[in-house]
Amino acid sequence: MSEHVLVEREEGLLTLRLHRLDKKNALTRAMYSRMAQVLEDADSDPSVRAVLICGGEQCFTSGNDIADFLQEPTTGMDSPVFAFMQALFDMKKPVVAAVAGPAVGIGTTLLLHCDLVYVSQDATLKMPFVALGLCPEYGSSFILPQMLGHAKAAELLLLGEAFTGAQAAEWGIANQALENGAATLTKAREMAKRFLHLPPKAVEVSKQLMRGPGREHLRQVIAEEGALFNQRLRSPEAIEALSAFMQRRKPDFGRFA
Ligand code: COA
């Protein structure tokens, strides 16, 4: 169990709150395992009608804990991060996300698998996988070009360009951008609570239909990305980039061909 993930219940709404603010809510293996378990339990608990994933009013998450990446790189689909993303991917119940402040790496990727996303307009979303010597993960290399077109997706995935909450809403990655973190959390909770008054089976089958026939292809993409990501985590390029972050210096890729 991780004390860095808080679980709250308000009638049929289960809130999963990231709470490791001194490390900008960087996600550890223990946090992923806990989140995976909470999501799986929520999906099989008939009293839960919707799930809200959030961080604090100033920070969603700085992504995977970089020290963890270096010390215990993921091995395969059975690692805690995959267990969490798999649980999110397979959720039958609606999942809403509230994002304020940074949403880096998996913090942005996971939004692509939520049903509703509310963001603070000055939130900073970023997928710096390539700059870290890694590659896109969990379906983003497929979903984002489809959603935004190749050119825009290339800026976000290859160059790792940061974008704001306001842009995320404009591009359809988020439903709405709110004026600040507090307003974002309030709005997301309000929208998530709407599901408590809807017939649950109708919500479930409708969500299932919206996922469409491309779902199995997406599953394959996720497996391919996962295998490459695990290889890249052990690459000299990634080790240089991740070590540079921990040592607070600029990475030097000059020696790589
Ligand atoms: N993994 C591990 N530690 C992290 C972290 C991460 N992903 N993100 C932040 N931290 C730690 C910092 O090392 C620092 O720890 P310290 O106080 O013990 O030195 C603390 O959290 C605060 O981070 P800091 O960088 O000082 O905060 P900031 O407000 O200046 O910047 C971010 C916030 C999110 C922009 C910046 O921390 C960042 O870029 N983090 C890395 C994001 C990343 O590349 N994630 C991986 C994606 S695959």
pLDDT one-digit tens code per residue, 25-38:
999 999 999 999 99
Distance 227 CA to ligand 1 centre (A): 25
Atom of ligand 1 nearest to the CA of 66: 1
Cα–Cα distance, 127 to 140 (Å, whole number) = 10
Average pLDDT score, the chain: 96
Q: For residues 214 and 206, which has the higher predicted lDDT (pLDDT)?
A: 206
Q: Return the DSSP state at 213.
A: T
CA–CA–CA angle 224, 115, 86 (5° rounding): 35
What is the distance in A from the centroid of ligand 1 to the CA of 24? Answer: 6
Residues 136, 153, 245, 117: what is their CA dihedral angle, to the nearest 10 degrees? -90
The sheet carrying 102-104 orders its strands as 102-104, 124-126, 163-164
> Which two structure tokens, joined as six digits, stand for 31?
């946090």
> Which ligand 1 atom minimizes the distance to the CA of 248?
13
> What phi and psi values does residue 150 have, to the nearest 5 degrees?
-65, -45
Note the pLDDT tens digit of each residue in 65-90: 999 999 988 888 889 999 999 999 99
Q: Is the pLDDT of residue 1 over 80?
A: no
Burial 108-138 (b: 16+ CB within 10 A, else e): bbbbbbbbbbbbbbebbbbbbbbbbbbbbbb
Q: Does 232 sit in the ligand 1 pocket, CB within 6 Å?
A: no
Amino acid at 11: E
Does the Cβ of 140 fall within 6 Å of ligand 1?
A: no
The predicted structure's pLDDT at residue 73 = 87
Tell how far the Cα of 65 is from the centroid of ligand 1, in angstroms. Answer: 8
CA-nearest residue for atom 11, ligand 1, is 23
Buried b (16+ CB within 10 A) or exposed e, 181-197: bebbbebbbebbbebee
pLDDT digits (tens, 9 = 90+) for 114-149: 999 999 999 999 999 999 999 999 999 999 999 999
Domain 2-180+199-203 classification at class level? alpha beta
Protein residue with its CA nearest to atom 34 in ligand 1:
62
Q: Is the CB of 54 under 6 A from ligand 1?
A: no
β-pairing, 124-126 with 95-99? unpaired
CA of 244 to the centre of ligand 1 (A): 12
Tokens of 212: 């469409």
By C-alpha distance, which of 97, 98, 83, 104 is closest to 40? 83
Identify which of 51, 17, 9, 7 has the alpha carbon closest to the alpha carbon of residue 181. 17
Domain ranges of the chain: 2-180+199-203
Q: Which atom of ligand 1 is nearest to the CA of 134?
A: 48
Rounded to whole angstroms, the Cα distance separating 102 from 140 reads 18
**Phi/psi of residue 100, each to 5°?**
-135, 150
Instruction: Confirm or reject: Cβ of 133 under 6 Å from ligand 1.
Output: no
In this structure, the residue with its CA closest to atom 39 of ligand 1 is 62
Atom 6 of ligand 1: nearest residue by CA position? 65
Give the pLDDT confidence of 232-248 residue by residue, as tens digits.
999 999 999 999 999 99
Nearest CA to ligand 1 atom 37: 62
